[in-house]
Structure 1
Amino acid sequence: MKNQSDTAVDSTNHQVTRKVSVAIIGAGTAGQNAFRQASKIKDDVVIINEGFWTTTCVTVGCMPSKLLIAAADRAHDANHSAEFGIHATAQIDGKRVMERVRDERSHFESYLEEQVDSWPDHKKIAGHAHINKQGLIEVNDEVIEAEKIIVATGSSPFIPEGWADKLGDTLLTSDTVFELPDLPKSMAVVGAGAIGLELAQAFNRLGVDVTLFNRVKKVAGLKDPDISNKAIDCLSRELTMHLGSKINNVGVQTAEGNKGSLAFIDYEDSAGETQQWQGEYVLVATGRRNNIDELGVENLGVVLDEKNRPKDLSKKTGQIGDLNVFIVGDANANIPLLHVASDEGFSAGNMVCDNKDAAYIRPPAVPFSIVFCSPQIVNVGMSLPEIQQDPELEYVIGRVSFDNQGRSRVMGVNCGLLHIYGCKKTDKILGASMVGPDAEYIGHILAMAITNDLSIKAMLDTPFYHPTILEGLRTALRDVQYKMEIPFQSQDTQKDNS
């Protein structure tokens, strides 16, 4: 991207080979949506991509992980039905489990690949893009001048410094774990966020000896202490977890009896005692980082903060200040969720072509996250700390335990807790946090209620069918309603009286 006064030759004497209205770097969810929308308006659009032309979700994220979880749930139900008078032992074919994950993943990928194949070849460039000091895009043997640039380069797993060299082939990430030809015998999972929890429990249910490590005594980044403690209680019934542990070293060493090599983790447990874990693989699930720091966006005038997040980012459009640069999807490190990336790419693809009426720029989405472990974990709207930090908010916490909730007990999934944070002044929901059965559905209902500004009364006026797990939501809403009718108390007092 160059000023009009600039010549068509950069300082390295690389001649501009192509001029376009819009260049899109990255072909994931955001990039593909941006390309489709921009191509409806402009003919001279180009998309540049390094690596697979599908999406993080389909290839290494949402879909393969849910395929693994589906297999794990089948095995778990077969192995844990004695309380129902049903006795069985699942015979797990690890190779077939992993084959199905990849086969079904390929099925989902085929739709995206078919779409990409339909795009004109001259508008697709496979290669590593770099933005030089003149704002020109260098890729392969081309130098491209673009009036406007959309950056949608996605994210990659974060690996602590030195671990890749120390662990070698025993190191796994969410980008590589689904390529395992068979289920391993043992695995450490480092990180108890969404990715770590889901994969740790799934592999454990499939017969892998799994140990989960996390540096803090929390899971899933939960900010409500009661919900976090309940989640730990529920999950630790089947999963070995070392929370609050400090990893001092990792590596590979010869197994006892000189029987091959094993990965190891030297760590201090929560009591400060030095321990060592040994096993076949170490799955690092310590988060993802946006792929932007080596792209050269600073040559476009983009300023990054200490975490490689672009400053002056419009969360509605992805535009950086008044620059003709848009950073969307995981690349902007704003909300790394597929539906957000999709919206941002769609909007940017229209905005760069001045088609603002068709951009369909949604208002900021209600924060909403789901962890698909069992029981599921959901957070919607404002977190408890955010609410507590606002002195103007008079709030109450409606609670329901799923430990003895009717349908949950019938199904044998009765472990969980829901907190709904209600505002006394408005009779509206500020947010909610939950661990429990059917949390994904309860979370959707709460998100819709917040988005549509529904009152507690309006929600309670809707029917709740009996007997369903969703009746637990009604119990929590009634608790909110009751507490709104009594004088405002501190949350400690409310907790003691509830």
Structure 2
Amino acid sequence: MNTTSDSLNNSFNSGVTRKVAVAVIGAGTAGQNAFRQALKTTKDIVIINDGYWTTTCVTVGCMPSKLLIAAAERAHAAKYSEEFGIHSKVTIKGNQVMARVQAERSHFESYIEKQVESWPADKKISGRAHINEEGLIEVNDELIKADRIIVATGSTPFIPDGWSEKLGDTLLTSDSVFELSDLPDSMAVVGAGAVGLELAHAFARLGVAVTLFNRKERVGGLIDEDVNAKAISCLSEGMNFYLGSEINEVSTKVDDSGRRVATIEYTDKDNKDGSWQGDYVLVATGRRNTIDRLGVENLSVELDDKNRPKNVDKKTGQVGDLEVYIVGDANVHLPFLHVASDEGFSAGSMVCGNDNDAYIRPPATPLSILFTDPQIMTVGKSKTEIEENPELEYVIGEVSFDNQGRSRIMGVNCGLLHVYGCKKTDRVLGASMVGPDAEYIAHILATAITNDITVKQLLDAPFYHPTILEGLRTALREVQHKMAIPYQSFDTQESNS
């Protein structure tokens, strides 16, 4: 480290058991990518990991949640096909649902485990690392001096103070919910962000009585008020929504049948008090990094009051001019696998010191997709970011999917897309959507933003008929039309459109 080299050199002969060029702490998506990339050009490297050697995505995140969602989609399609003239009686066997989730998760985990097994044994250390006052890494019985350190320690679910003790084994998080052996009868989900909304929607479609609580009257991180309102309308069927509510107390008690149940005392958006009770409370109030426990301050890394490292390069994860890189969920930048992957790749490139092999990836265009049904996506700049920049003369192209041709044919006709276009540059600034095939529309727009493609160029491309993607063309055509009109404020445009 630039600021600790003297102390490191002085201490090397007094207890240091290993000296390496690079140490990676954490073996999730970011850490593994950083290790693989750096290993291409230096063998003088170690990776240290506490816990499982897979990734958050595979073990407790993206993959098991999508497995649950896939089951929910099958159940929903089977139960609600009467409008197509198809009638059936559906039985959901919860133990079978969860058994498949766990079995397929193990299948995905096996690929990562085989890859980790292929790494040299002397490069892997299982144990909890701590950086001491001299800037040395303490792990198990070793004291390691590293010229460069990549911190990729990930994150853990945030649980409000006291809830673990008060709820006991009726409390679930995204780290534990996939260990259930059967589907419960009832569940409260606290938090309507990506994790909470996806899981609440999936469990509800699998027959669980789900009640969703959220402090804000917002779901899926949507900032655009119109798209948010449409998302609530599209997704509220089969779930009890208590948006804009405040949870006052949680506890457990024994019901009339002698069964221990979880209870939630809350105040709703109309300031009325209420009470919920059921089998489990799934806390989905976000994840937090744990780097304050690592001792990064001994590397001259400063953290703010929310545990976020200061002065981090969003492209490489490097902290200022230190030989310290903080990547993935640990830097609290964007908690997405593709971002963690890119940051790990870039940090591994930076430390390898080989211009031919090193490839620093640029910051990704912001992109978020929720795999509810209908899906939710945001891409590029948010409506708020655009509105706060007075230099951006923008227009909004809108399309409803309620009567869009292919959407109606498929019986998935609920949704709304807003595309934000810049009048000065003829470029897409961003978009928000709830609706069918949102994941594909998001990728098209992300590609356009990343590669500086104009609205005209997007419209010059073919849109096959009949497809849901024709809805994107409708929105882009409205953007193009409004761009030709002398600039007005957004409110005026909306009132006249």
Q: Would you say same fold, with TM above 0.5?
A: yes
The residue type equivalent to 2:84 in the other structure is: F
After superposition, the C-alpha distances for 1:134-163 in whole angstroms (9 at most, x for unaligned) are 001111111111111110001111101110
Offset from partner CA, 1:249-304 (integer Å, 9 cap, x none): 0010111x242110000000111111000000000000011121100000000000
Q: Cα distance, 1:14 vs. partner? A: 7.1
CA displacement, residues 218-270 of structure 1 (integer Å, 9 cap, x when unaligned): 11111111001110111112321100000000010111x24211000000011
Contact preservation (8 Å) 1:153, 1:290: yes
Deviations 1:442-467 (A, max 9, x none): 11011111111111111111111111
Give the AA of the match of 2:494. Answer: K
What is the CA–CA distance in structure 2 between the aligned matches of 1:356 and 1:199, rounded to whole Å? 44
Partner of 1:412: 411
Looking at structure 1, the residues matched to 14 and 66 of structure 2 have their Cα atoms a distance apart, in angstroms, of: 47
Match of 1:450, SS?
A: helix
TM-score (ref. length: structure 2): 0.98
Give the corresponding residue for 1:277.
Answer: 276
Aligned to 2:116: 116
Aligned to 2:315: 316
1:8: Cα distance to partner? 5.3
Q: Which residue identity is paired with 1:168?
A: G
Amino acid at match of 2:67: L
For residues 87-133 of structure 1, the C-alpha deviation after alignment (integer angstroms, 9 at most, x for no partner) is 12321111110011011111111110001111121111111100010
The one-letter code of the counterpart of 2:202 is A
AA of the residue aligned to 1:182: D
Helix, strand or coil: the match of 2:251? strand
Query: In the alignment, which residue of structure 2 is the partner of 1:374?
Result: 373
Query: In structure 2, what is the equivalent of residue 101 of structure 1?
Result: 101
Counterpart position of 1:330: 329
Indicate the SS of the match to 2:392.
coil
Distance (Å, rounded) in 2 between the aligned partners of 1:375 and 1:434:
10
Q: How does 1:411-450 map to 2 (within 5 A)?
A: 411-450=410-449
Asked if the contact 2:315–2:343 (Cα under 8 Å) also holds between the matched residues in 1, the reply is yes
Matches within 5 A, 1:337-416: 337-416=336-415
Q: Residue 9 of structure 1: CA displacement?
A: 3.9
In the other structure, the counterpart of 2:140 is: 140
**Structure 2 equivalent of residue 472 of structure 1:** 471
For residues 322 and 361 of structure 2, the distance between their equivalents in structure 1, rounded to whole angstroms, comes to: 21
Deviation at 1:4, TM superposition (A): 3.8
Deviation at residue 423 of structure 1 after TM alignment: 0.7
Counterpart position of 1:51: 51
**CA-CA distance at 1:17 after TM superposition:** 1.0
Offset of 1:362 from its aligned partner? 2.0
> What is the DSSP-based 3-state SS (H/G/I as helix, E as strand, rest coil) of the residue aligned with 2:250?
strand
| 1:152-301 superposed matches below 5 A | 152-255=152-255, 257-301=256-300
Cα separation, partners in 2 of 1:438 and 1:324, compared to 1, 3 Å: same
The letter for the 2-side match of 1:221 is G
Moved more, 39-48 or 280-289: 39-48
Kindly state the Cα deviation for residue 7 of structure 1 after the two structures are TM-superposed. 5.0
1: CA distance, partners of 2:280 / 2:360: 44
Distance (Å, rounded) in 2 between the aligned partners of 1:325 and 1:93? 50
Contact 2:263 2:278 in 1 (8 A): yes
Could you tell me whether the CA contact under 8 Å between 1:247 and 1:266 is conserved in 2?
A: yes
Query: 1:237 & 1:486 partners in 2: Cα distance?
Result: 39
Give the match for residue 33 of structure 1: 33
1:40-79 correspondence to structure 2 within 5 Å? 40-79=40-79
Query: Which amino acid is the alignment partner of residue 238 of structure 2?
Result: E
- Match for 1:455: what amino acid? T
State whether residues 19 and 146 of structure 1, in contact with CA within 8 Å, keep that contact through their aligned partners in structure 2. yes
Are the counterparts in 2 of residues 14 and 143 from structure 1 also a CA contact under 8 Å? no
- Structure 1 CA distance for aligned equivalents of residues 82 and 346 of structure 2: 52
Q: What is the CA deviation profile of residues 393-430 of structure 1, one whole-angstrom value per residue up to 9, with x for unaligned ones?
A: 11110000001111111111111000000111111111
1:493 maps to a residue whose letter is T
Contact persistence 2:8–2:145 (CA under 8 A): no
The answer to whether the 8 Å contact 1:303/1:310 transfers is yes
Count residues in correspondence. Answer: 495
**Misfit runs of 4+, over 3 Å:** 4-10
Using the alignment, how far apart are the partners of 1:89 and 1:271 within structure 2? 39
- Note the alpha carbon deviations across 1:38-95, whole angstroms, 9 max, x for none: 1221122111000100001111000000000000000001111111111123211111
Q: Say which is worse superposed, 245-254 or 38-47, in terms of deviation.
A: 38-47
> How far does residue 475 in structure 1 lie from its aligned partner after superposition?
0.5
Alpha-carbon deviation of 1:5? 5.3
Tell me the secondary structure at the aligned position of residue 102 of structure 2: helix
Distance in 1 (CA, whole Å) between partners of 2:248 and 2:154 is 30
Residue pair 1:318, 1:344 contacting (<8 A) in 2 also: yes
Q: Which amino acid aligns with 1:193?
A: G
Secondary structure in 2 aligned to 1:343? Answer: helix
Distance 1:44 1:453 in 2: 40
After superposition, give the CA deviation of every residue in 1:166-196 in whole Å (9 maximum; x if it has no partner): 1000000000000000001100000000000
Q: Is contact 1:184-1:208 (8 Å) kept?
A: yes
> Where in structure 2 are there 5+ consecutive unaligned residues?
none
CA RMSD of aligned residues (A): 1.3
Do the aligned residues in 2 keep the contact of 1:262 with 1:280 (CA within 8 Å)? yes
Q: SS at 2:431's partner residue?
A: strand
Where structure 1 has 5 or more consecutive residues not aligned to the other structure, the ranges are none
